[in-house]
Amino acid sequence: MKNNTKVLILAAGKGTRMKSAKPKVLHELGGKSMIMHILDNCVLSGLKDIYIVLGEDKGQILNSIKNIKVKVIYQKKQLGTADAISSAKEYIGKFSGKLLILYGDMPLIKKETIKKIIKKTNNSFSLVGFVSKNPKGYGRIIKENSQIAVIEDKNASKEIKKINLCYSGILCGPSKEIFKSLNKIKKDKNTGEYLFTNIFNYLHYVEKPINILTFPENELLGVNNIKQLSHADKLLQKRIKLNHLKNGVTLLCPDSIYIYFNAKIGKDVVIEPNVFLGNNVVLKSNVRVKSNSYIEDTYINSFCEVGPTCRIRSNTQLGKNVKIGNFVEIKNSKIGNNTKINHLSYIGDSIIGTKANIGAGTITCNYDGRNKNKTIIGNNVFIGSNCSLIAPIKIGDKSFVAAGSTISSNVNKNDFSIARAKQQIIKGGRNRFLKV
Ligand code: UD1
Ligand code: CA
């Protein structure tokens, strides 16, 4: 049945209300662009034939679309939503199945809802709306007897503005009939645009029922400006966090935590307040992320404790039961099971074995001004406090590096290494410097 449905997503608008140089549909929420949210959900709902109408920003938007096959339709001039759909006519005008029309700025629509809309559209049209407490800016749906109209906010009288049943931009129905009625739409006098919503003046001539389907506003809202994007982002965060809570994750003060869409979090994980989990984070079971930590592109195995106030990024992997403490930054590194890096360290481009102890203030000096170099530390290594490990360097298993050392030559297995100026003592020498 689904193969008999094509989806057309409109995303050619200039998005001027965003007041941003970035194309509107590339603005992100929960770490994913609006357009990718919609596309992913189209694919997940089983749609295979995806058409997308793009304008001047075509190249930029296409570059950002990953792993999804879309057919692009170019709308030369943004003359309105009806014109955008008309530009698809030469590609799908003759298609005899169902057409689902979506707008590119409705990032919160769920796959289940897409499925329901398609399922409920049988030899009929489905006009999708929602009830809003604050309907300003939306087209209002009016139903009188069997006649349905959508009046744009800009064209609405005071009375119509009071209506809170809003049009979402979604229409599903027999594709050919939609294109036929579309031909009849004239330029709107007030806005100078070809408004898709005027299709309802003509669609009723087709003798097929037009059903109004409603879903919650928090799935169908449109994003026209940054304030609305921020609101949608907040709703998405709520959704993401609710899912994690349902899966046995504890979030302390959840409103203060931000989690990207693709975080994978195991059971009995505890996340403390003010934590940011960015792109591609995996936290296996029983991990505890303490307050104010910033983690992205990182895999953390079970029973680790990280933070408070740490930064872990760029393809880092922590083994089981690793402890990362406060003011520690780790980048592009692999840390073995049971290793501790508890205070004030920078570990970059490193591989550290199991049961190692990296003392407070120890730093891997991975950058020589030209290249990034590797630090390799073995198992059961003890590195004292405040060491500088100048990469490329290897520190063998069970070796010991004394506190305050600057290490630039490899240290072998079982060896002790110290590299600091020798301490001198001048007996009673204090009086040379101070009189009292
Ligand atoms: C539109 C609807 C309104 C509805 C609201 C829901 C129309 C005329 N109005 O208003 O009834 O309540 O969405 O959010 O449809 N686009 C193009 N080419 C164009 C113009 C727009 O591709 O020439 C695309 C935009 O990129 C956008 C979508 O169409 O993704 C909707 O356009 P937008 O300007 O956001 O319409 P709204 O004013 O929000
Ligand atoms: Ca919109």
Q: Read off the pLDDT band of 1 (50, 70, 90).
A: very low
- Nearest atom, ligand 1, residue 15 CA: 26
Summarised one tens digit per residue, pLDDT across range 58-113 is: 999 999 998 999 999 999 999 999 999 999 999 999 999 999 999 999 999 999 99
231 as an active site residue: the answer is: no
Nearest-CA residue for ligand 1 atom 1 is: 169
Share of the chain above pLDDT 70, in %: 99
Residue 353 CA, ligand 1 centroid: distance in Å: 56
Rounded average pLDDT over 333-356: 98
Whether pLDDT at 135 is above 80: yes
pLDDT computed for residue 359 by the predictor: 98
Summarised one tens digit per residue, pLDDT across range 279-313 is: 999 999 999 999 999 999 999 999 999 999 999 99
CATH topology of domain 226-417: UDP N-Acetylglucosamine Acyltransferase; domain 1 (2.160.10)
Dihedral sign (CA 29, 71, 46, 9):
positive
Q: Is the CB of 167 under 6 A from ligand 1?
A: yes
Summarised one tens digit per residue, pLDDT across range 163-203 is: 999 999 999 999 999 999 999 999 999 999 999 999 999 99
Mutate to test the pocket of ligand 1, among 39, 102, 103, 154 (most ligand atoms within 8 A of CB): 103
- Closest-approaching ligand to the CA atom of 104: 1
Q: Where in the chain is the domain with CATH 2.160.10.10?
A: 226-417
- Nearest atom, ligand 1, residue 222 CA: 14
Whether pLDDT at 206 is above 90: no
Q: Where in the chain is the domain with CATH 3.90.550.10?
A: 2-219
Summarised one tens digit per residue, pLDDT across range 389-431 is: 999 999 999 999 999 999 999 999 999 999 999 999 999 999 9
pLDDT computed for residue 66 by the predictor: 86
pLDDT computed for residue 161 by the predictor: 98
Residue 224 CA, ligand 2 centroid: distance in Å: 5
Q: Is the CB of 107 under 6 A from ligand 1?
A: no
Whether pLDDT at 258 is above 50: yes
In whole angstroms, how far apart are CA 101 and each of 5, 52, 112, 128, 379?
A: 10, 10, 16, 10, 59
Say how far apart CA 314 and CA 299 lie, in whole Å: 10
* CATH H superfamily, domain 2-219: Spore Coat Polysaccharide Biosynthesis Protein SpsA; Chain A (3.90.550.10)
Q: What is the mean pLDDT of the chain?
A: 97
Q: Are 257 and 273 in contact (CB under 8 A)?
A: yes
Rounded average pLDDT over 252-256: 98
pLDDT computed for residue 436 by the predictor: 78
Q: Are 178 and 206 in contact (CB under 8 A)?
A: no
Nearest-CA residue for ligand 1 atom 28 is: 103
Say how far apart CA 378 and CA 356 lie, in whole Å: 8
Residue 223 CA, ligand 2 centroid: distance in Å: 5
Q: Read off the pLDDT band of 27 (50, 70, 90).
A: very high
Residue 404 CA, ligand 2 centroid: distance in Å: 60
Residue 222 CA, ligand 2 centroid: distance in Å: 5
Reported pTM: 0.96
Long-range contacts of the stretch 334-341 (C-beta < 8 A, 24+): 336/379, 337/301
Q: Is the CB of 195 under 6 A from ligand 1?
A: yes
pLDDT computed for residue 241 by the predictor: 98
pLDDT computed for residue 30 by the predictor: 98
CB atoms within 10 A of CB 60: 12
Nearest-CA residue for ligand 1 atom 10 is: 138
